[in-house]
Chain A
Amino acid sequence: MATISIGDYDFKPADRVENYGGDINIYCCWEHHLLIPCPAAYRLPPDIPLIDFLETMFRPDHQHHPDYARLNYHNLIWTLDGKSWQPKLAASLREGGVVHMSYLSFRAPGLDGFNGHGV
């Protein structure tokens, strides 16, 4: 469907990738860890390796959580944009198929928040 209007109605998306100076905007969520209640937004270069993203951007947000110390990057169960995803940690986000406005989420088997409460 299209927006009904009285004249031409053609506008560019406010958050198109050109507005990010070569970077992209992505979202990432550690499921069952609702201490941070919403998936988080990150601006980053698309060529950043997944492991670097996890170590330099994801880690500072989550390292105070007691589950973080037991987090094993190698056995995470990922989804990318709603589909199952098996990324290589050393590969860049772009190589892994992550694009502007992608939504990444993962579960860590056995880690379900404080006392298993999902927090």
Chain B
Amino acid sequence: MAHRKLTLKEKYQLMTRGLDWETTYQPMDKVFPYDQYEGIKIKNWDKWEDPFRLTMDAYWKYQAEKERKLYAILDSFSQNNGQLNLSDARYLTALKIWMQGITPAEYNSHRGFCMVGRQFRGAGARVACQMQALDELRHAQTQMHAFSQYNKHFGGFHQAMHMRDRAWYLSIPKSYFEDAMTAGPFEFVTAISFSFEYVLTNLLFMPFVSGAAYNGDMATTTFGFSAQSDESRHMTLGLEVVKFILEQHEDNVPIMQRYIDKWFWRGYRLLALVGTMMDYMLPKKVMSWAEAWGIYWEENGMALFHDLERYGIKPPKYHEIATLEKNHITHQAWTVFYTACPATAFHAWLPQPYELDWLSEKYGETFERYYRPRFAQFAELERAGERFYTNRLPLVCQTCQVPVFFTEVNNPMRQSVRQLDWQGMKFNFCSDGCKDIFAHEPEKFCQAYIPPQQIYQGNAGGARNLQEYAAWLKCEFGKDSGEYYTSEDYARWKQWHGGKDTTPSSAAA
């Protein structure tokens, strides 16, 4: 008898169902103790379906092909000294932040999906988690491989995992993923698969990776797009997970709404770092943060939430505030990077004249009124030989761990600080969004490892000031940190270009 080729749906059914069994020595609830305590009710795990209907055999086939393509290009990149093709070495600050902040997050995401894959009792869900855990590990590894070529020639790439556990700006992505990993499995998938992957990663990967291509970074473009092809599968799963949970029981709706509210806001705060990449670190510009927010949140994100209305899900709380802040946060964050860069593993600088004009074009009156004068003042100090660095530790939000540089939406000259008393102690926040998140789980967030507090308590290698703290991070001023235009990176770049300054003079390629 000839074998008929299975349809995609049949193959998916056969390879993701009936792989598990009802336990008899121990009750199922004891074998899977984590998938009920959040209050999410699942009546039928078989309703979980991956719309791509990807099975393990097809997964290996396509992943192998992606890896072959990727490594062919990475080999070519390093053999041909591809780092020389960059638009400008300032661009590398974006890669350093990626290496230090995003790559370890990919690894944590891998760990998280390994855990959640064990915690869910539905076989379809476990297969999906297994694939995603492998994807995330692949992302962490390929990124480290791609960056290793840069590590041969530039500062700041040398100790990503060491810095991740110590650097103030890296505690932001670290705490995001650790908050998710220490929640229940349904909250984890809502946080990572839905809020981060579906709602927010387009803002990270699409303009930025496209920007890497625009700035001549073949290695990053290649791993970025290779990873993004996995992300599109993760995003799809994120949406299906949310729909699956919402369809299982009406009691799940308010729990999911809270998860969506919390993780939208946490993700949005994390993306303040990404916005500065687009507006300040790409010498050749692709689109502004405000434009990306308009496309990927105001247009695409709202389309998603219109679709979810039928389940009784509303757009995430405070999303209007995020939209009101879109013309401000990147300039504010870059001011922090500019003034605090000696205590980081990257370089910062003042925007060049062509960039100030580009920012004025993109942000209009807001930039002209509040931010161009700020950079003009910094420039004046530089001309006077007093390049400004801050020497003082900042107030950091207890929830998102971002230094509180955000301002009130109705007053861009006044920092937005919120406070809450809990069990006789005060906690400080950057926003109502972060204060609400704390208020719901104070027992969890009171434990947060807030870098300035840890330094003051003597837990940062005994560092008493920012210089000692930078040494504890293993960052050397001028080599890994501080002003770009007096750095070793800049000197080397100039030397490679016959002693000429090759800073671009226009935003276009």
Do A and B share a direct contact in the complex (Cβ within 8 angstroms)? yes
A residues apposed to B, CB below 8 Å = 1-6, 9-17, 19-20, 25, 27, 29, 31-32, 34-43, 60-61, 64, 81-82, 99-103, 105, 112-115, 117-119
Could you say which of B184, B428, B443, B456 contacts A11, with CB atoms under 8 Å apart? B443
Q: What are some 19 contacts across the A-B interface (CB < 8 A)?
A: A1-B439, A6-B34, A9-B443, A10-B443, A11-B443, A14-B446, A14-B448, A14-B453, A29-B395, A31-B414, A36-B339, A37-B336, A40-B393, A40-B395, A41-B392, A101-B427, A103-B395, A117-B377, A119-B373
Q: Which of B34-68 contact A (CB under 8 A)?
A: 34, 37-39
Range of interface residues on chain B?
A: 35 or more
Q: Is B309 an interface residue (CB 8 A)?
A: no
Q: Which residues of B contact A103 (CB under 8 A)?
A: 395, 417, 419, 426, 428
Task: Tell which of A15, A35, A40 touches B394, judged by Cβ atoms closer than 8 Å.
Answer: A40
Q: Are B390 and A1 in contact (CB under 8 A)?
A: no
Closest to B457 in A: A19
Q: Secondary structure of the B side of the interface?
A: mixed
**Interface pair B447/A39, CB less than 8 Å apart:** no
Contact of A31 with B413 in the complex, beta carbons under 8 Å: yes
List chain B residues, Cβ under 8 A from A43.
Answer: 456
Contacts of A105 in B (CB 8 A): 415, 417
A36 to B87, CA, bound (A): 31
B384, chain A: closest CB distance, angstroms? 10
How far is B391's CA from A3's CA once the two chains are assembled, in angstroms? 37
Shortest CB distance B235–A (Å): 27
Q: Does B22 contact A (CB under 8 A)?
A: no
Determine if B221 is an interface residue (Cβ-Cβ < 8 Å): no
Given contacts A14-B453, A82-B417, A101-B425, list 18 more A-B pairs with CB under 8 A.
A2-B443, A11-B447, A14-B450, A25-B456, A29-B415, A29-B417, A31-B414, A38-B403, A38-B404, A39-B417, A40-B395, A60-B391, A61-B391, A61-B392, A64-B386, A105-B417, A112-B413, A114-B373
Nearest chain B CB to A62's CB is how many angstroms away?
9
